[in-house]
Structure 1
Amino acid sequence: MKQKDWKRKRRFRQAFARLIGKVRNKPRGKGPYEGPKNSFIILAQEKFGDAILLTPLLKNLKSRFPGASLEIVAFSKAVYGFFRSDTRVDAVHYAKGKPWRYAQKVLFRKFDILFNTKDHPSTNFLLQTLLVRARCKVGIDNEYHAGIYDYLAETDFHSPIALKNCSLLGVLGAPLVPEECRPYIPPMPVSEAVRRFLGELEEGSLYGVNISAGSPKRYWTGESWRKFVDAFPEERFVVLCSPGDAQQKKRLEEACGNIVPSPETGNIHEAELITKKLKALVTPDTAMVHVASCANTPVIGLYGKAPQDLSRFSPFLVDYRMVVSSTALVRNIDAGAVAKAFRDLRGY
């Protein structure tokens, strides 16, 4: 999207949010919400990384309110599929699916608590806030949510997203314990090839590199990955990637003698199972950073020069190093800088 178009859409979203706030003009709730907490409906953000960072909230809600139902509204098919396999979630609804089915399952019902996980105005999320009926509607505190929600969860803009999501607990009078906010990956199918590889893989014997990323500006180059791996001939590596980068994975495996060939992973759960056995993972700023948090595996994250990404989407509850580009593009990170961070993480 061109910068000009992006700014125009942002101004529209902000104006739309201000209009809703003026029309609804809800007074901001004080103190913890003391009403019923038997049913929650949560508006989930659109990417895999967002979904992973929502899981700490689901875990805490089920722990503190074990009899409550948790339902998710998903705005992408990827997130819809992710939460369908989560046993903590009672139902997942695709907002962009069949309208009549969505109305029956969501809009014709009433929930105790609605929570919007976005901390900035979003047209789709604001529309669902208006359409979904709930006794208490909670948003994350920002100037564009004023007047729209019954309660606003207070959290610093640069807080890690996992903790930002868990700020709902404060509204409910349930103290937030950061150590209880490690994310997780729901169980998913595991192929026979991955099972065999895991059975043969000695825990802590390999390092991992993830070569895939969620957007072009977050990719590191194949040449840089090769330089990095070649700098450590005494170590053994395994390459992880999404299906679209399978050919690049194969080229790296063939080019570097210290890369152990591995089967392609069919889902993010398989990637997590491999990550759990690694000594550490090197990855661009993408969902695999948060998979490492789930697996409690040390991580080296490659980031573009964007302060909000460095603070909000940094590795969480794991030992880590961050290597930051001098520009918005991860590909501008020098392989030597990553090698330096790798030596530092290894401790020798």
Structure 2
Amino acid sequence: MTLKQKIKNYLFKKIAQKKYNENIINLKISRILLIRDGGIGDAILSYPLIRELNRFYPNARIDIYASLNNHFMYKYLPEVNNVYLKYKKRNWLKSWIEIFKMRNNHYDLAIDDTVIRFHRTLHTMIINPKLILGNTGTKKRYGFDKSELSLYYKVYKTRDKKLIHMADTRLKVLKFLGINNYNTNMIFPLPKEKNIEIQNYIKKYKDYKLLGLNTDASHKDRTLNTKQIIDLCNLLKNEKIKIIPFCIPSKFEYFEKLINENSLTNVAIPFKTKSIYEAAEVLNELDLLITPDTSFVHIASGLNIPTVALFWNDPIKYILCGPKADNSVALTPKGTESNLENINLNEIQENAFKILNIKK
């Protein structure tokens, strides 16, 4: 660690302190800020917490401090009042305008369940909520975590010895507010009006059991390769099943070509989804989803769509981020490699047929 970093860490720890009144936990809560940047999956995993906060504080206003990568994921959550943005560094002025807007809201409670970062803690100090709760974060970056910063009235452990799902971990903050009987089910709100194009697309396959296949993830090591896709689709061939593939717009032609050149007659041409919500609408019509470790796992959990999720052989992956929908399973390769190269396709087929109640 450089001298500059040591000085920064020292100042960070020194200024991120606050003296609370011992009765602060009993304050009346009417304005809540959830600090939740990150990606799409991070946003979805915060939905149960937002729902439960609204359930126990039905008259409270709930705002979100989000990032450019996930702010749109709060669009259809009726519990959310406003979403504020942290912009990229080049738009620092916009970020500071947002911070002072939040400061003017005079929040009673802020919940920070993100990783520990100096800039985020500084922003929280300026926003100045009456009560700040959160997770500990880890000591990896600064040599200390939030438990050593009195700015946070109470923090829960980011990770206990017994691993539990990440959405359940975030709900632990409710215990600091005296809330113990909370619901851990996932949710995923969809637009009220159904997309007619999607409904017409699905109607074409109404006589089949619909199996969604998402092959992409944010990292190539979590993505199924072309041979795996072809082999898996062939293994899943059954007169009762139609495979509905998901793909980003730039891969539509790739999938269309792959289907036609390999005579994958059991695979439908993908629907050209324009947003994550359109993909979720398609997913909501399916009987089963097969997907690598990506936000699709969490969307399916929120819609309660049975899922065969594919993970690296790492408990931190398949327990913390595993599927929570009924009748779901997380599969891993037998080895400890950080990729899906050796995922067992026959095992995927067996679990898919079992969930769909189809005999080989």
TM-score w.r.t. structure 1 length? Answer: 0.85
Where does residue 295 of structure 1 map in the other structure? 303
1:333 corresponds to 2:328: no
* Match for residue 320 of structure 1 among 307, 319, 328: 328
Work out whether residues 155 and 167 of structure 1, in 8 Å CA contact, stay in contact via their aligned partners in 2: no
Q: Which moved more, 1:294-303 or 1:170-179?
A: 170-179
User: What SS does structure 1 have at the residue aligned with 2:319?
Assistant: helix
Match of 2:62 in 1: 70
Give the number of aligned pairs: 336
CA distance in 2 between partners of 1:313 and 1:31 (Å): 36
Percentage of matched positions with identical amino acids? 18
- Name the SS for the 2:107 alignment partner: strand
Cα distance in structure 1, aligned partners of 2:159 and 2:78: 31
Q: Secondary structure at the match of 1:73?
A: strand
Secondary structure in 2 matching 1:78:
coil
Aligned counterpart for 1:218 among listed residues 215, 222, 231? 222
Whether the 8 Å contact between 2:287 and 2:356 is mirrored in structure 1 is no
Distance 2:319 2:30 in 1: 33
In the alignment, the residues of structure 1 paired with residue 258 and residue 8 of structure 2 have an alpha-carbon distance, to the nearest angstrom, of 48
Match of 2:156 in 1: 153
1:127 and 2:122 correspond = yes
Q: More displaced, 66-75 or 150-159?
A: 150-159
1:47/1:29 Cα in 2 relative to 1: closer, same or farther (>3 Å)? farther
**Which structure would you say has the larger RCO, counting Cα contacts within 8 Å and 6 or more residues apart?**
1
Distance in 2 (alpha carbons) for counterparts of 1:324 and 1:48: 23
Q: Which has the larger radius of gyration?
A: 2
More displaced stretch, 59-68 vs 83-92 = 83-92
Unmatched tracts of structure 2, length 5 or more = 138-143
Whole-angstrom CA distance in 2 between matches of 1:46 and 1:215? 16
Give the counterpart of 1:183 among 178, 184, 187: 187
Change (3 A) 1:125 1:324: farther
Larger helix proportion, structure 1 or 2? 1
Check the 8 A contact 1:39/1:70 in 2, yes or no.
yes
Corresponding position: 1:241 with 2:247: yes
Find 1:230's aligned residue among 230, 234, 239.
Answer: 234
Please point out which of 34, 39, 57 is paired with 2:49.
57
Please state whether the residue corresponding to 1:90 is helix, strand or coil: strand
Matched residue, 1:34: 26
Tell whether the 8 Å contact from 1:17 to 1:144 is kept in structure 2 after alignment: no
Q: Which residue in the other structure is 1:105 paired with?
A: 101
Secondary structure, aligned partner of 2:252 = helix
Supply the distance in 2 between the matched residues of 1:28 and 1:317 (Cα, whole angstroms).
Answer: 41
CA distance in 2, matches of 1:108, 1:311: 40
For 2:166, give the aligned amino acid: I
Return the match for 2:79 from 74, 88, 94: 88
* Cα distance in 1 between the residues matched to 2:279 and 2:186: 17
Classify 1:189/1:104 alpha carbon distance in 2 versus 1 (closer, same or farther; 3 Å): farther
Preserved contact between residue 190 and residue 280 of structure 2 (Cα < 8 Å): no
Contact 1:28 1:152 in 2 (8 A): no
Distance change >3 Å, CA 70–CA 33, structure 1 → 2: same
Contact between 1:293 and 1:317, CA under 8 Å: does it hold in 2? yes
Q: What is the deviation of 1:291? A: 1.1
1:96-129 CA-partner distances (Å, limit 9, x unpaired): 15145314422344211111122x4234433333
